[in-house]
Chains A and B, each alone.
Chain A
Amino acid sequence: MSNVRLSNGSPTLERMEARLSDQPKPSACRNLFGPVDHEELKKDFQRQLRTMEDASAEAWNFDFSTHTPRADGRYQWEALDIRSVPGFYSRSERGKGSDIHISSSGNNNDNNVDVNGNHDCRVTEQSAETPETLREPRKRSSCLDSSCQSKRSHICVDEVTRTPRKPKKPRKPLSPTPT
């Protein structure tokens, strides 16, 4: 007979979970100065952001929250024709709609933090008016697919617009006809 110890038999899932939870945390895991008042912290953060925005508005004579120039200051702002500026100023962002929330696979509830811990800086609290359907993760339309652009051999300037279009079939390059 094999000399197998009973205690080393493969444990059931319940036992496995219990064992995992009993593992000690790293020694560095600790709260140093007691609980943080999250509401107060949030208010402080908003206040600091407002201060920063005001300072920027003062420095540049431009209201960044409403995207409008201020009345008087060092700088005079003038509107430009959209065709006279490079494309990336007018092109819509891909797959970054503020209403689309892609849920992470982990248990983390902070959806605007990616795997590497980088933030999507446009932190907007969802308002009550937001439709319930938009809150759920949904498939992106084909126009937002990053592979869409690479499949097309030619891209005209007028094709890159704000309104999403159906992806065109890849055009074959014209081959020279033998004479």
Chain B
Amino acid sequence: MELFCLEKDTVVRAQKDPNIFCDERVLQSLLTVEDRYVPQGPYFKCVQKDIQPFMRKMVATWMLEVCEEEKCEDDVFPLAMNYLDRFLAAVPTRKCYLQLLGAVCLFLASKLKACQPLSARKLCMYTDNSITSQQLLWELVVLSKLKWNLAAITPLDFIEHILHKLPFHEDRLTLIRKHTQTFIALCATDHSFTMYPPSMIATGCVGAAVCGLQSSQSNQSLWGDNLMELLAKITNTELDCLKSCQEQIEQLLTDSLKESQQQHQQQQQDGRASNKGTQSQNLSCTPTDVRDVNL
């Protein structure tokens, strides 16, 4: 007799509540409140002396990798980046503390959003044990500086409201949603989007996703200016700002694709070089390879 465990590791999500997504007041409330959670002022010029934009990108990329490795919910990473930006906009921070700050922000965001929060031990492991779990108590400082306002509005909060108003089939919307989430994560890694309202980023990402998918297909029912006008109307965004934002997102995507291709080529070259070394190591040191002996 065999015992089977039928429990699955997949996260069970609540179904979409029509009372939320069909009610215009919810979207209006989000639009009203969203500005409270946007960092005030460009902090690289005013607040931070030791931290440069490329360092933020390094931390953000690392945080995204941790989230992917741990299969965190989609909300965790953008929320953690929101905490990071709001903290950096308020508190001058040393370069050597930046990874600790990133880990703390992930820790807090996962406690708020994830079904299974990231453990302190794992986060320390991901920093290559350069910090201890004791030092994650910096979360108290972060909480204090953020005035305990943790339920921040992120671009992901707007996706369903926008997609609900687009005239596409459900299977198509699933694909658009997936691409949009990827674009939002990408925007969170780039410092030039920190000052943008979440609704604008969400709208721009949806626009970029729809355009990207429709350019590869013949059916172009909603395209170009028609799409932009509809999206601008949904989130009360100025059309010019939205166009500019979408172009920026598309440019960011192009740059990141180039970057990843270069890295991939570099890895392949490194792999070829190391293969030559390992081939000689792989040869058996006995006349008849022990691995080939059959009993």
Contact = CB atoms under 8 A, between A and B. Distances in A.
Contacts, number: 111
Contact of B96 (A6, A34, A112): A34
A20 interface: no
A34 to B, nearest CB: 6
A35 B185 CA distance: 28
B140 A36 contact: no
| Chain A facing B: main interface SS | loop
| Chain B facing A: main interface SS | helix
Interface string A33-52: 11111100100110011001
A5 interface: yes
B131 A36 contact: yes
A121 B69 contact: no
A123 B131 contact: no
Given A28-B126, A117-B107, A117-B119, A110 B59 contact: no
A117 B294 contact: no
Contact of A27 (B65, B97, B119): B65
B215 interface: no
Interface string B123-154: 10111101111111110110010000000000
Interface string A41-68: 1001100110010000000000000000
A36 B119 CA distance: 21
B133 A117 contact: yes
Interface residues of B, number: 44
Contacts of A28: 62, 65-66, 68-69, 126
Contact of A31 (B118, B130, B293): B130
A32 interface: yes
A156 interface: no
B291 A7 contact: yes
Interface string B89-133: 000000111111000000100000000011111110111101111
B99 to A, nearest CB: 5
A41 B135 contact: yes
A119 B120 contact: yes
Interface of A: 1-7, 26-38, 41, 44-45, 48-49, 52, 106, 108, 110, 112-113, 115-119, 121, 123
Counting from the closest, the 4 A-B pairs by CB-CB distance are: A117-B120, A117-B119, A28-B65, A31-B130
Given A30-B62, A44-B97, A113-B134, 6 more contacts: A6-B291, A41-B97, A52-B144, A117-B118, A118-B120, A119-B137
Interface of B: 55, 58-59, 62, 65-66, 68-69, 95-100, 107, 117-123, 125-128, 130-138, 140-141, 144, 290-295
